[in-house]
């Protein structure tokens, strides 16, 4: 397997890992799916709630990736774009680490509006930003350097959609498993007793991902 193929494989594994991390993190919404199941007294309501939660997360990621998919058509600025994106991710991670309070606007969104809530929480936590360096790495690994602009745009947009779909599918699977375990076996008391704050871990992970991407681009 060539070096480019190995790089692409590791980047896709990183997308899967980030999906697991987002899915397990209670801050991304699986407790709301548990609540829906308990209120309706039906596991069907639990799994139906995962739909709008996933849709909101997907839209937040696409909103972040698509502008960079279009920017990457400027091939001569690709390295500078990747460096700037890495700095944005690192900066946002540092910001979240020192300011862990959620924006007040999030409290005004009713939990019943799962799609809107999921979209807003993913934007506020930088869920799309976490995937940005990985996405840019995939585009860099697959670029031939001699593609026409239209073909490059289609390739970048397609990669953005695929990254978002794979990530959200893994997130929904992990979050659905957590919700089902709590709903069926553990109960809400387990959540209240074992709740742990992942905000610091989330912020540090953003800094690490952005830092690794920045180091890679600066040493090329």
Q: Provide the pLDDT confidence category of residue 203 given band limits of 50, 70 and 90.
A: confident
Domain spans of the chain, in order of start: 3-219
pLDDT tens per residue, range 167-196:
999 999 999 999 998 888 776 666 665 555
Q: Is 195 exposed, middle or buried (0-12, 13-18, 19+ CB in 10 A)?
A: exposed
The closest of 138, 125, 214, 108 to 171, measured between CA atoms, is 125
| pLDDT tens digit sequence for 112-148 | 678 888 898 888 888 888 888 888 877 765 554 444 4
CB contact at 8 A, 206 and 29: no
Separation between Cα atoms, residue 77 and residue 81, nearest integer Å: 6
Structure tokens given for 61: 């990621």
The tens digit of pLDDT for each residue in 25-72 reads 887 888 888 888 888 888 898 999 999 999 999 999 999 888 877 776
Residue 16 scores a pLDDT above 70: yes
Q: Give pTM, 2 decimals.
A: 0.82
Sign of the torsion angle spanned by Cα atoms 5, 23, 178, 53: negative
């Amino acid at each position: 397997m060539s070096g480019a193929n190995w790089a692409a494989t590791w980047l896709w594994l990183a997308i899967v890992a980030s999906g697991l991390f987002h899915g397990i993190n209670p801050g991304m919404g699986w407790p709301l799916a548990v609540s829906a199941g308990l209120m309706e007294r039906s596991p069907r309501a639990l799994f139906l709630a995962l739909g709008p939660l996933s849709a909101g997360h997907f839209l937040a990621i696409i909103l972040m990736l698509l502008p960079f998919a279009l920017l990457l058509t400027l091939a001569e600025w690709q390295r500078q774009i990747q460096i700037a994106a890495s700095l944005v991710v690192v900066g946002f991670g540092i910001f979240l680490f020192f300011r862990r309070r959620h924006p007040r606007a999030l409290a005004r969104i009713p939990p019943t509006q799962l799609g809107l809530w999921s979209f807003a929480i993913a934007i506020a936590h930088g869920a799309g930003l976490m995937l940005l360096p990985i996405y840019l790495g995939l585009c860099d690994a697959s670029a031939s350097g001699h593609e026409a602009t239209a073909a490059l745009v289609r390739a970048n947009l397609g990669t953005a959609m695929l990254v978002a779909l794979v990530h959200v599918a893994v997130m929904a699977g992990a979050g659905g498993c957590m919700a089902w375990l709590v709903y069926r076996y553990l109960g809400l008391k387990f959540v209240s007793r074992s709740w742990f704050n992942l905000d610091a871990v989330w912020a540090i992970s953003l800094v690490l991902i952005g830092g690794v991407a920045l180091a890679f681009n600066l040493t090329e």
